Amino acid sequence: MKKPNEEKRVVIYCRESRDDYGENYERIETQRDLLVKYCRSHGYTNIVDIIMDDDKSGTDFSRFDDIKERAKNKKIDVIVFKNSARLGRNQREALEFVEYLEERGVEIIFEDEQYNEEMFGLYAWFNERRARDDSKNIRRNLRHKIEEGDLLVKAIYGYNKDGKQLVINEETAAIVQEIFELYSKDWGYQKIATYLNKKGIPTPSQSRGFTNAKQTANWKAQHIVRILDDRRYTGDYVGGRTEKLSFKSKKTRVKPEQEWTIIENHHEPIIDKALFEKVQRIRAKRKKESDKINNGFKFVDVENNLYSGLLYCGRCGTPMYKRKGSTGARKRPDSYICKKYSNEGKIKDIRENYGCTPHRMRIEYLDQIVNSYIDNLVSNPEFKSFVMNNTKAISTNKSSLEKNLNKSKQTLEKLEKQFKQVYEDKLNDLIPEFIYKDKKQELEKKIKYEKEKLQEVESKFNTLNKLEDKEDLIFKAIDDIKKNGLTKEELSRLFDKIIVFNSKEITPEIKEKYNLNDEMYNELYENGGLAFHLKFMYPQIITNRWM
């Protein structure tokens, strides 16, 4: 026996997109109101969801993944679209989606056209054909604009945009010129990036004032590669380098160079063409040499980088990286130094938190200190007792957290039911609009708070689950180190991190963060040293300053 319309669970689906090419004569909100009115007038009062896909392509059917899951779990009975074009513009996927819904008993309704199972394949073909033709027209128009030199999406680093023209930005153009000059003098990508960071030069995104540009961002090798690779710095306009694989896909491909649109002497150059060609020859030569190394013509013995990902700078919190030592007149031993210092240099008043100090740690001393620390740990009679007591505390805390977890889940479930009920009351005109808005805001606020609370409790609970086996993990790691020596695997099992402090550097906030007692804090403040953060354990034990 069929359900009456008022009992059927209805999902309203609205979509508008830039790929509609002029069909967007109504706002998506208008489309929603029209479909709600249609449902009510036909007795479909049990609207369980209204989906608003604004600016979503009709060729992308991943947007229906959630609906397919609901249909699979028998949670919806009807889905309402304005017409077949709102469902999608890809014939094969549209037919597969419709077939999927029909097999699970979900009814399909179009508001302004009759859904006909036999005719739907023809409608889907027509919608796809229209999308393909519109896509071709847009490509043709874009190519015409490119060939006329009228289309400049944005000014590249080193230029400003004045109408349709590229005009040199004297300040950033000088940086581009310096990058090309340095590379032509055998500087590498990373060396140039480090040099620019130490000078405090803003990155391309920062110099353009982009809102998403991080003020703490640094120049990277990839920035240098992009600039050196860009022929537009010679004054030539280069367009049409990429194209979509098809009108159904957002993926692009780089077209062969002979298919690019190139207009020579289109704008004022920053780089002389002779210098540009010289740089390209150097890059090609270096790539060839690199390929030889990678293909086995040259082998480099790379030492195990034991402390990578474990050693951190105490001042800025960034990882420390291994710097290979050197021989000769200025002999320098292998050591770890702060990565921020390496990229930016000394502390300067260029921007907030710019630069750092080296925090240099010689590897030979680091190995000695770590081994000494582990020996002291094993010989400490209080250590095993400490671990055992912590294990008991974990069990107690876990039981308490589990109760809070269940309580928070029940509260969240209750609030979500209330939210759904208020929404249904509004759709059925049982409460006025102003009451609905007030209740909606109140419940959204409570639900957000409860979700954040639940996430926090779950995180703590999951952490305690991992900690239950910590005694075995810690002692097994120590045994393996004593047996086989220091290895990266065992160090990672034993330590969460090792933090390097200079004297007069540690702050009360860091003391609180790492749960240090007064004696440890004072030792670090006066002399500097290493703070060992054991895996799953507090507090840390501090070594004396290395010499």
Q: What number of helices (H) and strands (E) belong to the chain? A: 18, 17
Token pair 């992009």 is at which residue? 226
CA dist., res. 151 & res. 148, Å (int): 8
Q: Alpha carbon of 224 to those of 11, 175, 194, 234, 279: distances in Å?
A: 51, 11, 11, 16, 12
CA dist., res. 477 & res. 494, Å (int): 6
CA dist., res. 264 & res. 36, Å (int): 57
User: Helices 221-228 and 170-184, interaxial angle, to 10°?
Assistant: 90
Q: What is the pLDDT along the chain (547 residues), one digit of tens a residue?
A: 456 788 899 999 998 765 444 444 467 888 888 899 999 999 999 999 999 887 677 677 788 889 999 999 999 999 999 887 777 666 667 778 888 888 899 998 988 776 655 555 445 554 555 555 555 554 555 555 555 555 455 788 999 988 777 889 999 999 999 999 999 998 888 889 888 988 888 888 888 765 444 555 788 888 999 999 898 899 887 776 665 554 444 555 666 777 666 778 888 999 999 999 999 999 888 877 655 544 443 333 334 478 888 899 988 888 998 887 766 556 678 889 998 888 888 888 777 788 898 888 888 888 888 888 877 777 766 666 655 555 555 555 666 777 778 888 888 888 888 888 877 777 777 777 777 788 888 888 888 888 888 888 777 667 656 555 555 566 667 777 777 677 777 787 778 888 999 888 888 888 887 777 888 888 888 888 888 887 655 444 444 444 3
**Dihedral Cα 415, 421, 422, 424, nearest 10 deg:** 150
Supply the pTM of this predicted model.
0.41
DSSP 58: T
